[in-house]
Structure 1
Amino acid sequence: MLKKVNYLRSLSCFLAIILWSSPLGINSSLAVNDNCQLSESEIKQQENLRQTSPQEYNILLQKYAEQLRFCRSRHWLQEQAIWLRLYSCDTRPGSIESILDRIVAKGYNIVYLEVFADGQVLLPPNNNPTVWDSVIKNPGAGNVDLLAQAIEQGHKRGLKVYAWLFSLNFGYAYSLKPERQEVLARNGKGQDSTSFVDDRSQTFVDPYSNQARQDYLILLEAILQRRPDGVLFDYIRYPRGTGVDSVADNVQDLWIFSPASRQALINRGLNNKGKFLIERYLTRGQISPDDIVEADRLYPQETAPLWQGRIPLEEEMKQSVKTRFDRLKLELWFLTVAHAAQGVIDYISYFSALVERQGIPAGAVFFPDGNRLVGNQGFDSRLQAWDSFPASLEWHPMSYANCNDTTCVVNQIKRVVASRGNQTPVIPALAGLWGQPYNNRPSLEVQMAAIRLAFPSIDSISHFAFSWQEPQFDRARRFCQM
């Protein structure tokens, strides 16, 4: 028995030596801190080799990739992701490589790469089947595929590369298309989101619109052809206003007045009385006791008004008109809210299923307070019912609360963790910087330590954003001279 123990110890030591000294293993000269980050000297050496010695650079790439894998496999945080935006200037030779090297040096092993945002797509101008313009503007780069390059170069460095897409926010340019006006989400005041949101640049579409779905399907299929390691759906919600407009407490506050959504809601009526009252509620923004009397007169052969989910009382038709009115007006309000929320749920369910059928993970990015009840009958205007999103999705709560300590961030995550199913991964997105507070938020290290203490089962976190951590580098890439 003693010989067996000694043999196992010797084998263990031998394997450790091999791992430590292997060209693809963890070399003692490669200094990694507690967050799997490289030292400044190693970062400079790598950048120098990238420009002067491609062969040595490629060897170092493999070493760092294995080192990152080794470090993360033994770290409480198995996956650490960063949110990244690319620019037209990144078509320059070596730009993608330099960006991803910096990301690896910071200890990240996943990149959430923005591929559709602000009405632009990360597709080659000469191979862009979508209705949106390409991010790439320089004339000589019509065939450059930044998404494919980022995935390829990311894999060389041991990085997973997820595609990160806006979902119901199609960008301002989309709102200018005359043939897409009926696609835009509208509230009961006739507004679309460009006249509602502060920055006037967000164009939310009707999730019930077949045209919106077709446009988005073409985009998603083009992205999936590049085989990202995952797909994250962002802006899966309605717009949020400010002040009183941040709360929906009246049917006219809801974004359900576009033709497709309006008709889908009326179709939820299960008899003529139900459809009549739904349509009257949408047209006038309310119903009156006279509307109930009129419905009874028009359809005397029917009993109580019916719509999906409604269970009338047994003696309802024997009650006074006033009593019936009080009940029906409240039920209509909750019907319209549920209809609005269901549109978002159906939208994310449809597109995430397309992704998952290809064996690619899908995730939902959301605000933890986007589904909150306000008062007795009001709702957050975003109506982001993330707790009803498909259980197969990764949940990425944007835990951006700022209260000078970690309490509010932990509370946001706690709300999400309490709602999840056992099979739903929760991957909090944090805002901040390494080693210093930022906008009333503690450093990333402090935030992560608090999450580790409060939620021992969480082993994956993301940081927003690369541009915050590298502002000068980001600015130089955004405004370069081609």
Structure 2
Amino acid sequence: MKTVKIMPKLRQHGSGKRRGLVSIFSRHCFSILVASSLAVTSFLIPGQHYQFANAATNAYCQLNDNQVTQKEQLLQLSLEGNSQARQEYQSLIAEHATIMQQCRQQNWPQEQAIWLRLYPCDVSPGSIDYVLDRVVNQGYNRVHLEVFYDSQVLLPPADNPTPWSAIVRSPGGDNVDLLKQTIKKGHQRGLKVYAWLFTMNFGYSYAQRQDRQEALARNGEGENSLTFVSDRSQAFIDPYNRQVQEDYHRLVNAVLKRKPDGILFDYIRYPRGSGNQSLVNNVKDLWIYSPASLQTLYNRGTNEKGRALIKKYVNQGNITLKDIKDVDLNYPEEGEPSWQGRPTSSLKAKASLRDRHLRLKSELWFFTVAHAAQGVIDFLSFAAAPAQQQNIPAGGVFFPDANRLVGNAGFDSRLQAWDKFPGSLEWHPMAYSVCDGTDCIVKEIEKVIDNAPQGTEVIPALAGVWGQEYRKHPSLEQQMASLHRAFPEINSVSHFAYSWQEPEVDRQRKFCNLQ
């Protein structure tokens, strides 16, 4: 694929003609947005039958401006009650679905997805249609729809069995099911619709519940993530907590009830602090001090000496020579301290106390890190199980650099051990690194492919927009060309995000006034 740095006509159409519409949209929502955006073009005549022109696409399967305008006009007329326009609009979106399917089959990648968030304003008639039409116009045939984020769920208020608030909050909207609607409307346009969920980040309001305090992840200072991360929306949970598992299980089952084409799990990790707090190099830094996590850790001890030393280590942040002498005296009938994964048979029977001390300290550190990381892996497997039981594809979303060993014994605080994620899941590495060009992005994907079990589907997520550099990220054209050259075997890619590609439209949808 040739690298081309251009400003596609479609993007100019989508942004240039909508400047200055924020105040209009905030008062009258979607219908005014479409009407205003079409004011510079001639409307189709109501009741007149139109012969659709061939929907030409470019190398990226993006539709041309004439087809985009025609579709928007028909949508607007149908919202005004014109039945003929409604029929022709439905015919056109079906035609575009066929064209997109053919184009994607003939062009790399065969599957191209975009990450999308909906807002309360999207209850307005035609809003979801408009957004999904824009998605198809840009050459996408898959949507990753955010259904759980910031303590909100994309479920109807009247059918929300979770402890989180419904995104829909408008009067009379108790039964509005935006998730179900989007899946249906997406299928009409030839789009696969995957549900995209935050996983170990349960959100601020969840963390404020008095009956969920034991569910929050805590470090050795008793802090939860709200006091650790500047972003107050990041409230991370203890993956070993039973209440957490029950809450999330209800959420996943409610989402799967709407029959998405797949489900993706994001924030499968612990929080990342800034500066020195982005690393962990002491047991007190680990998010294992909630009751359930601690109890599970203690239970990993396989003899009394092992359990006693584990407790001393996590409580004190270290162990001393005296601690070892004490457990030897208290449990004389036992050999070496033992816990899961410790190969005690290889220890020297007559090692000095000082040598034992050095080895035990090192082993306890790596053991507690492994315990923290195992909680992340187990929670992902637990979350994905209901989907896999229904043969619905499931995937894990992760940062390739989030499981780094730093120095001899330090780790990235996120402890996102993605290289141990099940190979039966889709792997969605977020290759968001910024460098001079695209080399760092290619290296991130290469690292993931090298570590993926044979048969694992790796679907890179790229950050950027078409036709220009955005927030220091190269254009999608440049990134896609580099990715294809390096990994021609990859045939599915996603782009973050719709809000980046359509920032003004996204703001209008986010801040409209539904009253």
Q: TM-score range by the shorter chain?
A: over 0.9
Deviation per CA, 1:84-132, whole angstroms, max 9, x where unpaired?
Answer: 0000000011111111000000000000000000110000111111000
- Amino acid in the other structure paired with 2:253: E
Deviation per CA, 1:111-168, whole angstroms, max 9, x where unpaired?
Answer: 0000000110000111111000011111221110000000000000000000000000
Using the TM superposition, give the Cα deviation of residue 190 of structure 1 relative to its aligned residue in structure 2, in angstroms.
0.9
Using the TM superposition, give the Cα deviation of residue 404 of structure 1 relative to its aligned residue in structure 2, in angstroms.
3.3
1:289 aligns with 2:338: no
Deviation per CA, 1:407-430, whole angstroms, max 9, x where unpaired?
Answer: 111111111011112211111101
**4+ long deviations beyond 4 Å:** none
Q: How does 1:316-335 map to 2 (within 5 A)?
A: 316-335=348-367
Determine helix, strand or coil for the equivalent of 2:172.
helix
- Higher mean C-alpha deviation, range 235-244 or range 192-201: 192-201
Determine helix, strand or coil for the equivalent of 1:309.
coil
Given that 1:112 and 1:163 are in contact with CA atoms closer than 8 Å, whether structure 2 keeps it comes out as: yes
1:365 aligns with 2:390: no
Determine helix, strand or coil for the equivalent of 1:303.
coil
> What is residue 117 of structure 2 aligned with on the other side?
85
- Higher mean C-alpha deviation, range 331-340 or range 421-430: 421-430
> What is residue 229 of structure 2 aligned with on the other side?
197
- Amino acid in the other structure paired with 1:34: A
> What is residue 35 of structure 1 aligned with on the other side?
60
- 1:141 and 1:430 map into 2 onto residues whose CA distance is 35
Which of these residues, 196, 205, 210, is aligned with residue 178 of structure 1? 210
Percentage of matched positions with identical amino acids? 57
Given that 1:120 and 1:132 are in contact with CA atoms closer than 8 Å, whether structure 2 keeps it comes out as: yes
> What is residue 309 of structure 1 aligned with on the other side?
341
Q: How does 1:402-481 map to 2 (within 5 A)?
A: 402-481=434-513
- 1:219 and 1:253 map into 2 onto residues whose CA distance is 30
Given that 1:404 and 1:440 are in contact with CA atoms closer than 8 Å, whether structure 2 keeps it comes out as: no
Which of these residues, 166, 174, 183, is aligned with residue 198 of structure 2? 166
Using the TM superposition, give the Cα deviation of residue 440 of structure 1 relative to its aligned residue in structure 2, in angstroms.
1.6
Determine helix, strand or coil for the equivalent of 1:300.
coil
- Higher mean C-alpha deviation, range 227-236 or range 395-404: 395-404
- 2:338 and 2:225 map into 1 onto residues whose CA distance is 32
1:232 aligns with 2:264: yes
Given that 1:304 and 1:316 are in contact with CA atoms closer than 8 Å, whether structure 2 keeps it comes out as: no
Gaps of 5+ in 2: 1-51, 78-84
- Amino acid in the other structure paired with 1:46: K
- 1:189 and 1:324 map into 2 onto residues whose CA distance is 28
RMSD: 1.0
1:242 aligns with 2:274: yes
Which of these residues, 83, 86, 95, is aligned with residue 54 of structure 1? 86
Using the TM superposition, give the Cα deviation of residue 259 of structure 1 relative to its aligned residue in structure 2, in angstroms.
0.3
- Amino acid in the other structure paired with 2:263: V
Given that 1:402 and 1:439 are in contact with CA atoms closer than 8 Å, whether structure 2 keeps it comes out as: no
> What is residue 154 of structure 1 aligned with on the other side?
186
Gaps of 5+ in 1: 1-26
- Amino acid in the other structure paired with 1:72: R
1:35/1:274 Cα in 2 relative to 1: closer, same or farther (>3 Å)? Answer: same
> What is residue 10 of structure 1 aligned with on the other side?
none
> What is residue 103 of structure 2 aligned with on the other side?
71
Determine helix, strand or coil for the equivalent of 1:331.
helix
Using the TM superposition, give the Cα deviation of residue 313 of structure 1 relative to its aligned residue in structure 2, in angstroms.
4.8
Determine helix, strand or coil for the equivalent of 1:292.
helix
Using the TM superposition, give the Cα deviation of residue 315 of structure 1 relative to its aligned residue in structure 2, in angstroms.
5.6
> What is residue 127 of structure 1 aligned with on the other side?
159
Determine helix, strand or coil for the equivalent of 1:139.
coil
Given that 1:207 and 1:347 are in contact with CA atoms closer than 8 Å, whether structure 2 keeps it comes out as: yes
- 1:441 and 1:351 map into 2 onto residues whose CA distance is 32
Using the TM superposition, give the Cα deviation of residue 314 of structure 1 relative to its aligned residue in structure 2, in angstroms.
5.1
Using the TM superposition, give the Cα deviation of residue 40 of structure 1 relative to its aligned residue in structure 2, in angstroms.
1.3
> What is residue 292 of structure 2 aligned with on the other side?
260
- 1:358 and 1:315 map into 2 onto residues whose CA distance is 47
- 2:208 and 2:108 map into 1 onto residues whose CA distance is 48
Given that 2:53 and 2:67 are in contact with CA atoms closer than 8 Å, whether structure 1 keeps it comes out as: no
1:436/1:310 Cα in 2 relative to 1: closer, same or farther (>3 Å)? Answer: same
- 2:231 and 2:473 map into 1 onto residues whose CA distance is 24
1:40/1:326 Cα in 2 relative to 1: closer, same or farther (>3 Å)? Answer: same
> What is residue 99 of structure 1 aligned with on the other side?
131
- Amino acid in the other structure paired with 1:83: W
- 2:62 and 2:210 map into 1 onto residues whose CA distance is 50
- Amino acid in the other structure paired with 2:65: E
What is the total number of aligned residue pairs between the two structures? 456
Relative contact order (C-alpha < 8 Å, sep 6+): which is higher? Answer: 2
1:326/1:115 Cα in 2 relative to 1: closer, same or farther (>3 Å)? Answer: same
> What is residue 337 of structure 1 aligned with on the other side?
369
Deviation per CA, 1:58-89, whole angstroms, max 9, x where unpaired?
Answer: 11111100000000011120100000000000
Using the TM superposition, give the Cα deviation of residue 439 of structure 1 relative to its aligned residue in structure 2, in angstroms.
1.7
- Amino acid in the other structure paired with 1:230: G
- 2:233 and 2:106 map into 1 onto residues whose CA distance is 44
